[in-house]
């Protein structure tokens, strides 16, 4: 036991870093790398186009809004969503990359949930798409765990001190989605009308669903 | 000791860069990618990752061990690009001299994409027809192995006081510094997941029990907590935790 463990150093020294050879203009950096990888047959343009099109046009917060609206109108679905979110979300055909293990956390009059990833930018892609810039910002990552109430105030959300805030820091491969409370006065609305009220930020915990006037 | 990416709770950051409209209302739908090069940097990183030369934990580790001055100065997708470049070189998918040639060409406007007929596709290359299938499957980190969790729901646990990565000095871990040496309660057990502290350094997957642990804000921040009853929940692997009192 007294033997010192073999300490592996797999860091580079700053001046050895390959990335230091990249041009200072990021657009040129991408062009250089992209062309090199294309010419070497390691990537193909159509794959890049398909990926970008998928997340620009097909996978985004509308998916999450459909999940939330369904939970608002269907108590059995809501129960499944809160006990096995991955399967319940898959019922709507949303699944896969960065949503392999989903957990849905429910807002109540007593508890307000907020999602953050302090170590990187973990985010539930199949239901919310690619994270917005603010979610990936140093400011959101550093401050949300320490002063969630001040952070929420910047988003225009003022919570009663009696409401408990739970901040979920996505430190592993579980991806979180907030189930916001259904707004008052929406009893007569159907599922697709309700889905229109569900904002992206309300599913991260930095906002509320739209109110009806 | 921690690395720069481990920024939860640090002081000095200003207001959140929230996009707002003319009436100062929060905008809820921004374009997925602000610039075309963001989209390209993101897509190239995914496509190169699909070659299978590295895993998710390795790519995180590469972003985290960018030199601190670069980590601070680079925007989000610049970090991705820099880490990708270092990975491509280290895994010998491209060489430094190739990189330099293409950078020179890019800076001098002489970049040339070969015609498709002159390109020989690598057998691992991710084809467009497989994109939806691969995205739909994702990369699950749960492993179906027979390990029983040591802790029960409701157990009081204390987190390691130092980086739990015992194999690699300054290596990758997912226990943030702000939650080290803190007492919390096991909220749930989430099956056995690939252990990043090993997997990020190509030391095998070593799947281990993963728990969600709840901490009181006052346990983490002391008197600085905004509201002592607020909670912070983290997903932590078993080696990050010890029973308390121990």
Burial class (CB in 10 A: 0-12, 13-18, 19+), B128: middle
B188 contacts B234 by C-beta, under 8 angstroms: no
What pLDDT is attached to residue A20? 86
DSSP bridge partners of B110: none
A30 & A66 share domain: no
Instruction: Name beta bridge partners: B212.
Output: B188, B235
Which B residues, 18 through 77, put their C-beta within 8 Å of a C-beta on chain A?
A: 18-19, 25-26, 28-35, 37, 39-44, 46-48, 51, 60, 63, 65-67, 69-70, 75-77
Contact A98 B138 (CB under 8 A): yes
At the top level of CATH, the class of B36-137 is: mainly alpha
Based on the fold, state whether residues A52 and A122 are members of the same structural domain: no
Which token pair is A143?
A: 């401050």
- For chain B, where do the domains classified as CATH 1.10.472.20 start and end? 36-137
Residue B240 has pLDDT above 90, yes or no: yes
Residues of chain B with CATH 2.30.30.50: 156-243
Instruction: Return the residue in B72, B102, B170, B204 with the most chain A beta carbons within 10 A, the one to mutate for interface testing.
Output: B102
Same domain? A148 vs A48? no
Pair of tokens at residue A212: 């009806």
Residue B242 has pLDDT above 50, yes or no: yes
> Complex ipTM, two decimals?
0.97
Got the DSSP string for B137-197? H----B-------SS-TT-EEEE-SS----SBTT---SS-GGGTT-EEEEEEEEEEE--HH
**Are A89 and A37 members of one domain?**
no
Task: Name the CA dihedral angle for A48, A52, A57, A61, rounded to a multiple of 10 degrees.
Answer: 140
B201 to chain A, closest Cα gap in Å = 8
| A121 catalytic residue (yes or no) | yes
pLDDT in tens, B161-202: 988 898 888 899 999 999 999 999 999 999 999 999 999 999
Quick check: B32 and A150 CB within 8 A?
Answer: no
Of A24, A87, A122, A202, the active-site residue reads A122
Per-residue pLDDT, A7: 41
For the segment B197-226, the average pLDDT, to the nearest whole number, is 97
User: Number of helices and strands (H, E) in chain B?
Assistant: 8, 5
* Residues A66 and A167 placed together within one structural domain of the fold: yes
- Strands of the sheet containing B156-159, edge to edge, are A111-116, A164-169, B231-237, B208-216, B183-193, B156-159, B241-243
User: Confidence class of residue B1 from pLDDT cuts 50, 70 and 90?
Assistant: low
In this predicted model, what pLDDT tens digit does every residue of A110-162 receive, in sequence order? Answer: 999 999 999 999 999 999 999 999 999 999 999 999 999 999 999 999 999 99
The answer for B 182-221 residues in CB contact with A (under 8 A) is 190, 193-194, 196, 201, 210, 212, 214, 220-221
Q: What is the dihedral of CA B62, B64, B70, B71, to 10 degrees?
A: 140
**A44 within some domain:** yes
Q: For residue B95, which residues of chain A lie inside 8 Å, CB to CB?
A: none
Contacts of B54 in chain A (CB under 8 A): none
Query: 3-class DSSP state for residue B26?
Result: strand
Q: Is residue A13, in this structure, part of any structural domain at all?
A: no
User: Is the domain of A41 the same as that of A71?
Assistant: no
Q: Is A117 a catalytic residue?
A: yes
Query: What is the pLDDT, as a whole number, of residue A2?
Result: 37
Instruction: Say what angle helices B76-90 and B96-107 make with each other, to 10 degrees.
Output: 140
Q: Which residues of chain A have pLDDT under 50?
A: 1-14
Rg (CA), chain A: 21
Instruction: Judge if A133 and A79 occupy the same domain.
Output: yes
- Looking at every residue in chain B, the average pLDDT score rounds to 95
Q: Collect all residues of chain A within an 8 Å Cβ-Cβ radius of residue B194.
A: 173
Q: Count of residues for chain A?
A: 213
What integer pLDDT is reported at residue A14 of this predicted model?
A: 44
Pick from A31, A51, A171: CB nearest B174: A171
| A82 and A170 housed in the same domain | yes
Q: Sorting pLDDT into bands at 50, 70 and 90, what band is B132?
A: very high
Residues A42 and A115 in one domain: no
Range of the domain at A32: 26-57
Q: How far is CA B72 from CA A21, B36, B67, B85, B218, in A?
A: 18, 22, 9, 18, 29
> From the CA atom positions of chain B, what is the Rg in Å?
22
Within 8 A of B13 by CB-CB distance, chain A residues are 138-139, 142-143
Return d(Cα A154, Cα B20) in angstroms, integer: 11
CATH code of the domain containing A102: 3.90.330.10
Residue A17 lies in a domain: no
CB B192 within 8 A of CB B145: yes
Percent of chain B, pLDDT > 90?
A: 93
Q: Does some domain include residue A45?
A: yes
**Tokens read off for A204:** 């991260």
How far, in Å, CA of B36 to CA of A52, rounded? 10
CB neighbour class for A108 (10 Å; exposed up to 12, middle 13-18, buried from 19): exposed
Does the global pTM surpass 0.90?
A: yes
Whether residue A158 is contained in a domain is answered as yes
Buried b (16+ CB within 10 A) or exposed e, A154-166: bbebeeeeebbbb
Judged by a CB distance cut-off of 8 A, whether residue B157 touches chain A is no
| CATH fold of B156-243 | SH3 type barrels. (2.30.30)
Q: Does residue A140 belong to any structural domain of this protein?
A: yes
d(CA B234, CA B210): 10
Give CA–CA dist A124/A129, Å, rounded: 7
- Report the alpha-carbon distance of residue A148 to residue B226 in Å, rounded: 8
CB-count burial class (<10 Å; 0-12, 13-18, 19+) for A175: buried
Question: Which residue from B142, B55, B148 is spatially nearest to A174, judged by alpha carbons?
Answer: B142
Q: Do A133 and A43 share a structural domain?
A: no
pLDDT of residue A16: 67
How many domains, in total, are found in chain A? 2
């Amino acid at each position: 036991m007294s033997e010192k463990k073999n300490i592996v150093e797999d860091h580079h020294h700053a001046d050895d870093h390959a990335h230091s050879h990249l041009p200072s203009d990021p657009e040129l950096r991408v062009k250089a790398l992209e062309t090199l990888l294309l010419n070497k047959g390691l990537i193909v343009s159509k794959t890049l186009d398909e990926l970008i099109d998928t997340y620009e046009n097909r996978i985004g917060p509308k998916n999450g809004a459909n999940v939330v609206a369904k939970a608002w109108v269907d108590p059995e679905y809501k129960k499944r969503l809160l006990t096995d979110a991955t399967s319940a979300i898959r019922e709507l055909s949303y699944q896969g990359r960065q949503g392999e293990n989903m957990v849905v956390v429910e807002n109540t009059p007593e508890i307000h949930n907020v999602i953050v990833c302090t170590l990187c930018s973990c985010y539930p892609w199949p239901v919310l798409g690619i994270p917005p810039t603010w979610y990936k910002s140093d400011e959101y990552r550093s401050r949300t765990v320490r002063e969630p109430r001040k952070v929420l105030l910047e988003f225009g959300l003022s919570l009663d001190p009696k409401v408990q805030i739970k901040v979920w820091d996505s430190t592993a491969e579980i991806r979180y989605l907030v189930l916001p409370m259904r707004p008052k006065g929406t009893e007569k609305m159907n599922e697709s009308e309700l889905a229109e009220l569900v904002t992206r930020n309300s599913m991260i915990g930095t906002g509320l669903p739209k109110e009806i006037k | 000791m921690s690395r720069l990416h481990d920024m939860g709770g640090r002081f000095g950051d200003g207001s959140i860069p929230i996009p707002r409209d003319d009436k100062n209302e929060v905008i809820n739908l921004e374009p997925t990618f602000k610039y075309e090069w963001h989209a390209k940097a993101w897509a190239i990183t995914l496509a190169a990752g699909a070659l299978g030369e590295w895993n998710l934990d390795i790519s995180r580790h590469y972003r985290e061990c960018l030199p601190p001055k670069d980590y601070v100065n680079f925007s989000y997708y610049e970090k991705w690009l820099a880490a990708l470049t270092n990975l491509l070189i280290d895994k010998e998918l491209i060489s430094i001299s190739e990189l330099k040639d293409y950078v020179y060409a890019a800076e001098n406007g002489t970049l040339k994409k070969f015609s498709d007929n002159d390109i020989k596709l690598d057998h691992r290359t991710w084809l467009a027809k497989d994109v939806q299938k691969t995205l739909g499957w994702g990369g699950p980190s749960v492993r179906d192995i027979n390990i029983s969790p040591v802790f029960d729901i409701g157990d009081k646990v204390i987190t390691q006081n130092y980086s739990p990565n015992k194999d690699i000095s300054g290596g990758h871990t997912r226990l943030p510094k702000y939650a080290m040496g803190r007492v919390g309660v096991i909220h749930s057990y989430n099956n056995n997941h690939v252990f990043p502290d090993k997997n990020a350094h190509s030391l095998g997957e070593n799947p281990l029990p993963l728990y969600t642990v709840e901490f009181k804000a006052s346990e983490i921040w002391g008197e600085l907590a905004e509201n002592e009853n607020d909670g912070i929940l983290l997903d932590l692997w078993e080696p990050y935790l010890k029973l308390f009192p121990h």
